[in-house]
Structure 1
Amino acid sequence: MTENPTGPSHPATGLARVRTLPPWYLLAAGTLVGGLLGGVYGVVEPPEYTATSYVVAVPTAKSDPATATGFAQAYGRVATQLAVLGDAQVWAGVPVTTLKSSVRTETSPDAPMVAITATSTRPDLAADMANAVSRALTRHANDTKDATRVELQQFARATKPSAPSSASPALVGLVGASAGGLLGGLALLARPRRSDEASGRPASVPGPALAGDTHGAL
């Protein structure tokens, strides 16, 4: 039984198809797809707003600035603990879990100040959360000021942000296009080269020399 010469041939594999693509195709396709995905994400994802309030540790008459700076570092760590956030949720009007995921603090080793930053998709809520946490932290700190000899005071209230802090859709699209172009370049480097196998000819592989051939040559 003979094979049908007109029958279907083996379908081209993915690697064989990649070999036939022009070099610029992968770069262009990766850039285009990455830019589209990034742009869509930037449009669909709601913008985020950030607001920051500041509190400052002030030494009492029986303390010194170095002590106040040290307690400011401690207050920065305490601000996101449940004891403080439990009171702040009442003034912010959001659950503790929301405050836990949306509020962060920053301190400086050279200044007795704590920055309390809140992020939200609503600009007014971002300011409310930052102010609520700073208010709760100030209250807890001043409950023990006779023992710590440090008083916590509000330095600046958070205000409603006028512009989002997250990246714009255009910027997200640009980042996506850059990432897609990079992936396309990596795929281009990993692209198989044309070989005898691509042209249908078996590659010639030298075999081990036989002993008889060696004696005949001699």
Structure 2
Amino acid sequence: MTDTPTRQRRLLLARLRALPLWSVLATGTLVGGLIGGSYGALTPSTYTATSYVIAVPTGKSTPDAALGFAQAYGRVATQLAVLGDAQVWAGVPVRTLQRSVRTATSPDAPMVAVSATSSRPGLAVDMANAVTRALTRHADDSNDNTHVRLVQFSRAVEPSEPTSASPAVTGLVGASAGGLLCGLALLARPRKSGEGDDPAPAPSVPGPAAAADVRGQR
């Protein structure tokens, strides 16, 4: 007669409860480390290249206006109007640019950072420089209205090291997560009946003196 699934689960839980606590934590940490390390080893490395442009006021503008337009150009850089032109120089579709390109601005400096991420270092450089070039051309087209020019401050260079996490880092993260989850599971596990409960007080039995008093009261 084969065991039912319910009975099998009960037997498994009973065996797990019989294991020492340290062994459960060690197993969870080991499994989590193996999963995290495998993820880091199987996931392709990614590289990030960054180029910079700076907003420069013309004779009819002010530095404060340049700072404000730098914030605006940082948001415009990832829009379809700019990426549509950048795809020609980058040699990739617009969707790839939308997934791979990010911008950042500073509240204190009129500068825009354009970063591109790819599994190929050279492609990351091409995408960052292409978006910067397209953004600069769009700024030049509206220079008569904004009175602010975008000037290339620094071109993107090919990164020498990946920006993605190494297998050692992902392994440590997985081991920490596995140990933490097992610890939480042990804290939330159902306790055995009577475990941790205060012992029930023993029933009081009247002694000889108490029994004599009771008979005297009668």
**TM range, normalised to the smaller chain?**
0.7 to 0.9
Gaps of 5+ in 2: 196-218
Q: Given residue 59 of structure 1, which amino acid in structure 2 is its aligned partner? A: P
| 2:214 counterpart residue number | none
Query: Of the candidates 54, 57, 71, which is equivalent to residue 56 of structure 1?
Result: 54
| 1:210 counterpart residue number | none
* TM-score between the two structures when normalised by the length of structure 2: 0.83
| 2:93 counterpart residue number | 95
| 1:125 counterpart residue number | 123
CA distance in 2: counterparts of 1:56 and 1:79, whole angstroms: 13
CA distance in 1: counterparts of 2:8 and 2:59, whole angstroms: 87
Alignment of 1:97-112 (within 5 A): 97-112=95-110
CA distance in 2: counterparts of 1:195 and 1:177, whole angstroms: 33
Aligned residues: 190
Cα displacement (A) at 1:114? 0.3
Q: Given residue 160 of structure 2, which amino acid in structure 1 is its aligned partner? A: S
Alignment of 1:28-47 (within 5 A): 28-47=26-45
Alignment of 1:127-142 (within 5 A): 127-142=125-140
1:162 paired with 2:156, answer: no
Q: Over residues 58-90 of structure 1, what are the superposed CA-to-partner deviations in whole Å (9 max), with x where a residue is unaligned?
A: 000111101100000000000000000000001
Gaps of 5+ in 1: 1-7, 198-218
CA distance in 2: counterparts of 1:141 and 1:166, whole angstroms: 33
RMSD after superposition? 1.8
Identity percentage of aligned residues: 72
Q: Given residue 34 of structure 2, which amino acid in structure 1 is its aligned partner? A: L
* TM-score between the two structures when normalised by the length of structure 1: 0.83
Q: Over residues 89-109 of structure 1, what are the superposed CA-to-partner deviations in whole Å (9 max), with x where a residue is unaligned?
A: 010011000000100100111
* Contact in 2 for aligned 1:15/1:192 (Cα 8 Å): no
Q: Given residue 154 of structure 1, which amino acid in structure 2 is its aligned partner? A: Q
CA distance in 2: counterparts of 1:70 and 1:194, whole angstroms: 65
Cα displacement (A) at 1:26? 1.5
Alignment of 1:74-85 (within 5 A): 74-85=72-83
* SS of the residue 1:158 aligns to: coil
Cα displacement (A) at 1:12? 6.6
Query: Of the candidates 176, 182, 185, which is equivalent to residue 183 of structure 2?
Result: 185
* SS of the residue 2:189 aligns to: coil
Q: Given residue 73 of structure 2, which amino acid in structure 1 is its aligned partner? A: Y
